[in-house]
Structure 1
Amino acid sequence: MSLMVSGVLLCSLQTCCVCGKMGATVACQQKRCARKFHFPCGSRQGCVSQFFGEFRSLCWEHRPQQTVETHQDGDTVCIICMEPVEDRTSYSTMVCPFCKHAWFHRGCIQGHALRSALKHFACPLCKDREKFLPEMWRLGIRIPDRRPAWEEEEEQNLEDLYETYSHCDASQCLYRGGREQSEEEE
């Protein structure tokens, strides 16, 4: 039996520590931690998967924490969605490690990372990349290495400009040969 087949069989027998169902394929990488989980279950429970280097996953107990020393001025809102954030850093509330003034929800900064991609991902407030990127990677934010979403959308919009319109929508066709002949010529 090959190593690959035995690995698949072993994973199918692993129980997810979150939902209790079989087939858990992700294990906490902390030494002596036996927690195994399905990737979606782990994400919902607060597990962190780091999408760089060794591609480690850590359970909610062993996941990295932000150690930035900062305080909020009154009611602080997420710089992306403008909704209130928790009064401290946590799994779901993060702060820029450079300016220490940009607070955001995990889901909001993840969406920002997916749209911006690696080339343009930076703190939405101070635009720092030097400290911001490594911290976001460490905290489990996935930053794809591709073109940003707006460039892909822009390219699609440009392609649409070169498309010729294929039929007449006018209520009264003004083409001398009539609507059918006009559409046949195109």
Structure 2
Amino acid sequence: FLVRDTRRIIREAAKKICFICYKMGASITCCHTGCDRTFHLPCAPDGECVTQYFGAYRSFCWEHRPQQALQPRPSQDSTCSICLDTVEDKISYTTMGCPVCQDTRFHRQCIQRMALHAGIAFRCPCCLNQEPFMINMLFMGIRLSKSPPSWLSDPDIRSSRQRHSRNDAATCLCPGGREHTEADGPWQRWLCDSCTAMGTHQRCSSLANNTHSSKSSSS
């Protein structure tokens, strides 16, 4: 961007009100023809707005943002494939899915965090599809990283079992806290099989005991 263009945008934004927080300085306008909603980038999640981080970097308000057209979920599982907490039973701004396997569901904030951790290794946490999945996530406003997976640059990592040491579930039920772990039982830590960048205690997850074999233990 040229300096004069940046200054012009700043002057114009100073006159615009964010439709989410109602404060001045909104520099982003919905690119849908005829829509004049403006907002701040930090306010976008609260207003369920989307910015596509590629090409023309288009932004959309809640009404005109791109929508995922996924088939109804075949299974009755209502858990996020990343954090294992409950997700909505339908696709929304906060609940997204994989367009390839159709069955995977995850929170927007979970897949965004996973995308930044995984970098060039980013893929569906369930079917492991990469290119079509990445393209769809970009279109839906997930910001990707071109860096190597974050765990590869951590000098303290000795094996994939040591990549994470904290319970990431929304609510931790363990009396010993999020850092506590045991070799077996309800306080054993399970790591995500796809990235091992997130984990949860067995009891703090929404998985039944008989699904233990599908998750990696960190002990």
TM bucket by the smaller chain? 0.7 to 0.9
Q: Does 1:125 align with 2:126?
A: yes
Shift of 1:110: 0.6
Equivalent residue number for residue 168 of structure 2: none
Identity over aligned pairs, percent: 40
For residue 44 of structure 1, give the secondary structure of its aligned residue in structure 2: coil
Equivalent residue number for residue 100 of structure 1: 102
Structure 1 residues 76-134: Cα deviation after superposition (integer angstroms, max 9, x where no partner): 100111111101111111111111121101011111101001x1000011100132111
Equivalent residue number for residue 28 of structure 1: 30
TM-score (norm 2): 0.67
| C-alpha contact (below 8 Å) 2:12/2:27 kept by paired residues | no
Letter in 2 for 1:74: Q
Shift of 1:5: 2.9
Change (3 A) 1:125 1:35: same
Letter in 1 for 2:25: G
CA distance in 2, matches of 1:3, 1:82: 45
Structure 1 residues 33-89: Cα deviation after superposition (integer angstroms, max 9, x where no partner): 000000111222100010111111100000001002132522410011111110111
| C-alpha contact (below 8 Å) 2:75/2:103 kept by paired residues | no
Shift of 1:3: 4.4
CA distance in 1, matches of 2:85, 2:45: 22
Structure with bigger gyration radius = 1
CA distance in 2, matches of 1:47, 1:34: 13
CA distance in 1, matches of 2:116, 2:65: 22
CA distance in 2, matches of 1:112, 1:4: 32
| C-alpha contact (below 8 Å) 1:15/1:22 kept by paired residues | yes
Structure whose residues are more often helix by fraction: 1
Q: Does 1:65 align with 2:46?
A: no
Equivalent residue number for residue 139 of structure 1: 140
Please list every run of 5 or more consecutive structure 2 residues that lacks an aligned counterpart in the other structure.
159-219
Equivalent residue number for residue 168 of structure 1: none
For residue 32 of structure 1, give the secondary structure of its aligned residue in structure 2: coil
Report the aligned-residue RMSD.
1.6
Question: How many aligned positions are there?
Answer: 155
Letter in 2 for 1:147: P
